[in-house]
A = this chain, B = another copy of it.
Amino acid sequence: MVLIDLINANGTHFSPNSWRVRMALAHKGLAFEVRDIGFMDVPSLHPQGEKVTIPTLVHGERWVTDSFAIVRYLDEAFPNTPRLTGTGSETALLQFFQNWVQTTVHAGLARLIMQDLHRSLLPTDQAYFRESRERIYKMTIEEIQAGREERVAAFHKSLQPMRQSLQAQPFLGGAQPSYADYLAFGGFQWARISSTFAVLNADDVVHTWFERCLDLYGGLGRQDAAAVATR
Residues of A within 8 A of B (CB): 86-97, 99-100, 102-104, 160-162, 164-165, 168-169, 171-176, 178, 180
The closest CB in chain B to the CB of A165 belongs to B96
- Contact of A99 with B161 in the complex, beta carbons under 8 Å: yes
Cβ-defined contact, B172 with A92, below 8 A: yes
* A168 x B89 contact (CB < 8 A): no
Which residues of chain B come closer than 8 Å to A87, judged between CB atoms? 86-87, 90
B86 & A90 in contact (Cβ 8 Å cutoff): yes
Pick the residue among B92, B100, B104, B165 that contacts A92 (CB under 8 A).
Answer: B165
CA of A164 to CA of B160, assembled, Å = 20
Establish whether residues B172 and A93, one from each chain, have CB atoms under 8 Å apart when the complex forms: yes
Nearest Cβ on chain B to A97's Cβ, whole angstroms = 6
Compute how far the CA of A174 lies from the CA of B104 in the bound complex, rounded to whole angstroms: 22
